Chain A
Amino acid sequence: MKYVDEFRTPELIGKAGEEIRRLADPNRHYRIMEVCGGHTHAIYRFGLKDLLPENVELIHGPGCPVCVLPMGRIDDGLSLAAQPDFIFAAFGDMMRVPGTHGSPLEYKARGMDVRIVYSPADALKLARNNPEKHVMFFAIGFETTAPSTALTLMRAKAEGLHNFSVFCNHVTIIPAIRAILDSPDMRLDGFVGPGHVSTVIGCRPYDWIAKDEGKPVVVSGFEPLDILQSIVMLLRQLRKGEAKVENQYKRVVPWEGNRAALRAMSEVFELRPYFEWRGLGFISQSALKIRASYAEWDSEQRFSVPGLRVTDPKAAQCGEVLKGVLKPAQCKLFGKECTPEQPVGALMVSSEGSCAAYYNYEHRKPVTIANSAAN
């Protein structure tokens, strides 16, 4: 497959692994956080941890939009959708995320009109095709998906389509990273920076991490070679005692970001004064709300939202795992009460959630597996 296989070449990957082992000081333990859930998924899927020396530890960050969404928001969205002639549309990732009384998929099995869409534009198409119904798009995601929600709202307004609204849960990555760095129990040496988010916001917003916090950041792509190369770049900086922002994902991420996408976002969204994150609590100016000029297409302004606050099940330690304080398997519920089939927390649902990735790809693995090709 072109543009993919080039980044999965065994020889190059082997070389990157060797370079990491060469650069890592055996007397030092490195804790590197990959911020984005897409990286977490790739690290497990491609077995990249097996290629790293033991003293280079990867800590999974909060960059999984499904995982950081508190249960109350899901309950709020589903309670709106209980109205007659209502269609609840969301990405596939959301479908198995548990609310207090079940996931969207379980609501669908009970008869609610729940649809999986692949983009907000598909939800808008649903609204056009079902003029007698109201279509609510349950929007999640960081700056990666926020621009397409913004463009969809601009189109709905331009078309004067009134049976469509967005329940906006878009969040922003920088305040989450700040919250993690402010957390007293974290000792991190550097960050594998989010690739997709950075295609929109660029690399400048990470400057403070290098300048003020003294930690290197390397914005990274998602293929095995991308991730390993980013770790090489981080280790080189650490070895030289440097802390700067570098861009490994130049083929996709422009240093300045995507101006058109940022313009669309600022046309439609403004910052919420504060927003609740699972595990991280309330973080000020960490999420987007729809501006008053788009009030008619904002589910929260248009309908009355219960504003539920629900605490996660007590025994679940999603917050600690989300912050990187605990490894997935250290949570008391991991693999017992909480599995991908019957998830208690969202980290076990999303393919980008560290618990699901760890459960699916890692936790029953024997310690050593000799690699030999068949015949």
Chain B
Amino acid sequence: MATPATKVRFREPQIEMAHGAGGKASRRLVEGLFAPLLFGSAHGPLGDAAHIQINGTRIAMTTDSFVVKPLRFPGGSIGELAINGTVNDLAVSGARAEAIVVTFVLEAGLPTDVLEAEVRAMAQAAETAGVMIAGGDTKVVEHGKADHMYITTTGVGRLLSGVEISPQSVRPGDKVLLSGPIGDHGITILLARGDLDLEADLRSDTRSVFPLVQALVSAEGAGVRWMRDPTRGGAATSLNELARDCGKGIVLFEEKLPVRDSVRGACELLGLDPLHIANEGQFLAIVSAEHAQRAWQALRATPGGEQAAIIGEVREEPAGAVLVTTLYGGNRLVDMLVGDPLPRIC
């Protein structure tokens, strides 16, 4: 059978680290190469999980690979991240994770106790999240061909009733909710690598966000239009993707953004924007104006959601972009992350 003449728009000669950093380059790769060849024209906007129908039952399905370095960091580790990451992708697509299968890619020479610790962390995270680990696969590659271990998890979940997630339903006047402080995970990892000679009392925020999503949906599900967990590329990248998908503008109020002092301090020193830093235990939601206040209260009343905030709103302008108003009435655009966050020098 002849291959259909699908048009690939990804023209970069080789894969760079930036193509995996979750920002613009990642989006170009997915939209320019993967989507046209693998999904054809059938695909809509690319969400955190696919919704598929089997015999009349709608389920959500997602997959994610974890290549974090170092394997363990304050507040978490790769094993625990591998479960919560997939649970969260399902959660923000409006689904409760039911089962996960796991693939391990292990490097020859990996000490067994390192592996065991991660498997234990996975079991613990799965139990906390109430998800079954239903199967798995293992591959071992030569020493030096992988960074200790990579983990891929694939999960299926049951869709929560009473919520429909779609960027197209987003309207001007809707509010932007954030579940808690941003930047903790990315800055923790950066510091844990030890290249910076910086220390801060900071832990990764890695956790399942499902309890918060569930609280939000059961309280004000009818008003919830869109959700996303802002992992790689940070909140700015997630919101820029939304702005493009819905054709509206997202305006954030800088003074409302929950950011810990230690994260702000590290970002100041390194010339990074907390809005571009990865999170592993937060989510963003767009909620209609009339539901927003109660939705916010529902999040605040749920353990782990005490610092939730309404951080901005949807407007007609700037269409397709994210704008931050500063404390003193100035404003700036915040684009998607370009490349990896690189520290500046002076």
Across the interface, name the chain A residue whose C-beta is closest to B273: A45
Q: Which of A4, A44, A118, A371 contacts B332 (CB 8 A)?
A: A44
Residues of B contacting A98 with CB < 8 Å? Answer: none
Does B116 make an interface contact (CB < 8 A)? no
- The 8 Å CB contact of A361, one of B311, B332, B345, is B332
Which chain A residues border B251 with CB–CB below 8 Å?
Answer: 369
Interface residues of A in 335-375 (CB under 8 A from B): 340-341, 350-352, 359-366, 369, 371, 373-375
B25 contacts A by Cβ under 8 Å: yes
A141 near B: Cβ within 8 Å?
yes
The tally of residues in A whose CB lies under 8 Å from a CB in B reads 56
| Residue in A closest to B333 when the chains form the complex, CB atoms | A361
Cβ-defined contact, B328 with A14, below 8 A: yes
B50 within 8 A of A: no
Q: Are B17 and A105 in touch, CB under 8 angstroms?
A: yes
- B24 near A374 with CB under 8 A, answer no
**For residue B271, which residues in chain A have a CB less than 8 angstroms away from its CB?**
41, 351
Q: Report if A196-B346 is in contact (Cβ < 8 Å); known contacts: A360-B335, A374-B312.
A: yes
Contact B338 A341 (CB under 8 A): yes
**B297-333 contacts to A (CB < 8 Å):** 310-313, 317-318, 321, 323, 325-333
A335 vs chain B, min Cβ distance (A): 12
| A96 in the interface (beta carbon within 8 A) | yes
Q: Would you call A365 and B331 a contact (CB within 8 A)? A: yes
Query: Of B253, B261, B317, B321, which is within 8 A of A373 by CB?
Result: B253
Q: Size range of the interface on B?
A: 35 or more
Q: How far is the CA of A369 from the CA of B321 in the complex (A)?
A: 13
Total A-B Cβ pairs within 8 A: 140
Chain A CB count within 10 A is highest, among B25, B251, B326, for: B326
A360-B272 Cα distance, complex, nearest whole Å:
13
Question: Does B342 belong to the interface (CB within 8 Å)?
Answer: yes
Instruction: Check if A72 is an interface residue, CB within 8 A of chain B.
Output: no
Q: Using Cβ atoms and an 8 Å threshold, which residues of chain A touch B310? A: 374-375
Residues of chain B within 8 A of A359, CB atoms compared = 335
Q: Which of B14, B253, B321, B329 contacts A50 (CB under 8 A)?
A: B329
Cα(A288)–Cα(B339), bound, Å? 31
- Is A92 part of the contact surface with B, judged by Cβ < 8 Å? yes
A4 to B338, CA, bound (A): 26
Provide the bound-state CA to CA distance between A50 and B323, in Å.
14
Nearest B residue to A374, CB-CB: B310
- Further contacts, 4 of them, CB under 8 A, given A117-B195, A365-B333: A45-B332, A116-B342, A361-B332, A371-B325
9 closest A-B pairs by CB:
A47-B330, A92-B342, A361-B332, A50-B330, A13-B328, A91-B345, A366-B317, A340-B338, A92-B343
